[in-house]
Amino acid sequence: MNTHPLAGIYTAAITPLNEDTTPDLDAIPKYLSFLAKRGCHGALLLGTTGEGPSFSTNERVDIFRAALKVREENPGFRLLAGTGTPSLTETIQLTQTAFDLGYEGVVVLPPYYYHQAMTDGLFIWFQEVLNLAVPRDGYLFGYHFPAQSKVPLTLELLTKLKESFPDQFAGIKDSTGDPKFSVTLGGRFGNDLVVLTGNDALLSHALNNQASGCITAMGNLFSPDLRVVWDAYQQGNAAPDAQGRLNDQRVILSKYPPFAASIKGILPHFHDLPRWPVRPPLLPFPEDQIQFAVEDLKRI
């Protein structure tokens, strides 16, 4: 069992938008409150599912500020900010702002334009962010999503960061979807590295390999089962029924990428929520495809 203060179940939250694709600042805290009531310990703002790279620095800060209102009804709800950009300066500014606002942690993509960046260069980049933007009581998670960023966070890099910043560098969001990597991380770091899996189907497996929880897109739809698996694990038990549903749902949802668009289309069919638009270059998911997805998901 990992007792890190940020261990738990997080949703990689979608970002509610107005029809002109500007952020719907009033809807954001209401949506986060919806997630809180469905068992989430917290949420990641402006990750991949939240369309983070599509927003300017000023828009991101506006979204971070709007999200704080969720704590008026849910004071214990944890907020993680997606702050990684290819610009070191911008990443530092966004990270500083998130902590100044009271966010518990940040999830930081590596600089994803230079795919051939060396480990030493990436270490210096993260070192600058940690030294200049992360307070002593703040936590930074690397965002390990090589299929999307094309810049992996290697074991060598993770080791150097953890040794140099044992507290501030908390761990990673692991979005590889690779069960063998979960085993490798657990064997290499144990509980010292806070690993939050990005794949719902791997939650039980990851927890059994010393992970600390999850940050998932599917949490927007089915977070209660994620919480059932988490709570059972805290008591030394398994929750095979809940994990089985998550496995089946993930198989279905994986047929409908990108999640930012498909989840926004699916949500209104399961919950009393509007169908929020996505920002270009993403397009609204075709309604016929949404219907197929909804029918399959409702069979589980």
**Is 1's pLDDT higher than 80?**
no
* Distance separating alpha carbons of residues 132 and 150, to the nearest angstrom: 25
Round to the nearest angstrom and report the end-to-end CA distance of the chain: 30
Instruction: Using DSSP, state whether 84 is helix, strand or coil.
Output: coil
**Is 2's pLDDT higher than 90?**
no
Is 31 within a domain? Answer: yes
At what angle are helices 240-253 and 287-298 packed, to 10 degrees?
A: 160
* Distance separating alpha carbons of residues 3 and 297, to the nearest angstrom: 33
| Structural contact between residues 183 and 143, judged by C-beta atoms closer than 8 angstroms | no
Average pLDDT in the chain:
97
Phi, psi of 131 (to 5 degrees): -70, -40
What is the torsional sign of CA 80, 140, 239, 13?
A: positive
248 Cβ neighbours under 8 A, 6+ residues apart? 300
- CATH assignment of the domain containing 174: 3.20.20.70
Is 276 within a domain? Answer: no
| Cα R_g (the chain), whole angstroms | 18
Q: Give the pLDDT score at 3.
A: 81
Q: What is the mean pLDDT of residues 22-26?
A: 98
Number of structural domains (the chain) is 1
∠ CA 85-88-89, nearest 5°, is: 105
pLDDT band at 106 (very low <50, low <70, confident <90, very high): very high
Is 264 within a domain? Answer: no
Is 281 within a domain? Answer: no
Q: What is the mean pLDDT of residues 89-113?
A: 98
Q: pLDDT digit string (tens) for 128-161?
A: 999 999 999 999 999 999 999 999 999 999 999 9
Is 294 within a domain? Answer: no
Q: Give the pLDDT score at 47.
A: 98
Q: pLDDT digit string (tens) for 29-69?
A: 999 999 999 999 999 999 999 999 999 999 999 999 999 99
Q: pLDDT digit string (tens) for 81-93?
A: 999 999 999 999 9
Phi, psi of 6 (to 5 degrees): -105, 10
Is 81 within a domain? Answer: yes
* Distance separating alpha carbons of residues 49 and 285, to the nearest angstrom: 14
pTM: 0.97
What residues make up the domain containing 117? 8-239
Is 199 within a domain? Answer: yes
Is 76 within a domain? Answer: yes
The set of catalytic residues is: 48, 113, 143, 173
AA letter at 53: P
pLDDT band at 204 (very low <50, low <70, confident <90, very high): very high
Q: What is the mean pLDDT of residues 120-131?
A: 98
Of 39, 49, 20, the closest CA to residue 234 belongs to 39
